[in-house]
Structures are given as C-alpha cells and as structure tokens.
C-alpha cells in the first residue's frame, strides 16, 4: 500500500463543483492499494498515519501527531500512485489492486479510520475529483508498506 501524506492547514475534495469532503488542519492522504495488499497492511498504514509525528510542538519541533493536535484526515483514493514508468513515457498501472479489491481496501481503511479518529472526510472512489489544499510547511511524506 502506498500513501502520500501532506500536512495541511485545510483541504477539500470537489466533484462537479460540489465539495464532498473537507478538513481544516490535519492530513491529506492520497492512498493506493496495490496487488497483494491485505487488511493487515492497511491496518499498519493507518496505525503509522495516526502516530506520525509531523506537527509542531510548542518548541517548534515536529513532535506531535494528528491525534495530538486534534486534526482531521482527508482520505482520497489515488490508484495512480502505483504508476510504473520503467517501460517508457506512458505509465503502467499493473501494480495497482483491481478496482474491486482497491475499493474494498479503501472502504475498509476509511471505516477503520472513522472507528478510531473523530474527524475523517473522504473523496469518492474512482470519481473524477479536484483536490484543493493548503500544504502546511510544506510537509509531504511518502509512505509504502507491504
């Protein structure tokens, strides 16, 4: 499973001009399920995400997690993170999970996140989304777990 985590001051997802998910301070997470990913992998990604210390403490050090600061999570499915460019200029997405399995893992990830974190917003799986964000820092961190 791959994720790109962005610390944001605010973020939202629009579809056809309507906002479908929105947070203030928190983490925008672009999430990609890959072939072979399991529920256990998704659980590890979520645990890491919730404990990732990338928010500043009173001394200005990145020492606090999204849970510590009471920030939101905006979870957006992003199969293009599985892109392979080794064969030329047109990306191959063969490493991405099948659409059915990708949706299942994404939906499960969202449900697990909502069970343990108070503010969770989402995009819409497989939709044409416009993602708006104010990256704070900027802090952008890639994460991959198998």
Enumerate the active-site residues.
78-80
Q: What is the rounded distance in angstroms from the CA atom of residue 79 to the CA atom of residue 95?
A: 9
Strands, DSSP E only, in the chain?
A: 2-15, 18-23, 26-32, 55-56, 62-64, 72-77, 120-122, 130-144
Q: What is the rounded distance in angstroms from the CA atom of residue 30 to the CA atom of residue 129?
A: 12
């Amino acid at each position: 499973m791959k994720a790109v985590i962005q610390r944001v001051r605010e973020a939202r997802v629009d579809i056809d001009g309507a906002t479908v998910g929105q947070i203030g301070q928190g983490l925008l997470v672009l999430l990609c399920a890959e072939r072979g990913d399991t529920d256990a992998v998704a659980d590890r990604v979520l645990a890491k995400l919730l404990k990732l210390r990338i928010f500043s403490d009173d001394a200005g050090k990145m020492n606090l997690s999204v849970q510590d600061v009471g920030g939101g999570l905006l979870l957006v499915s992003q199969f293009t993170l599985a892109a392979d460019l080794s064969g030329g200029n047109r990306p191959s997405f063969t490493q991405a999970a099948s659409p059915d399995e990708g949706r299942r893992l994404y939906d499960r990830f969202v449900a697990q996140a909502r069970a343990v974190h108070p503010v969770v917003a989402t995009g819409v799986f497989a939709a044409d989304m416009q993602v708006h964000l104010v990256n704070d820092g900027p802090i952008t961190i890639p994460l991959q777990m198998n």
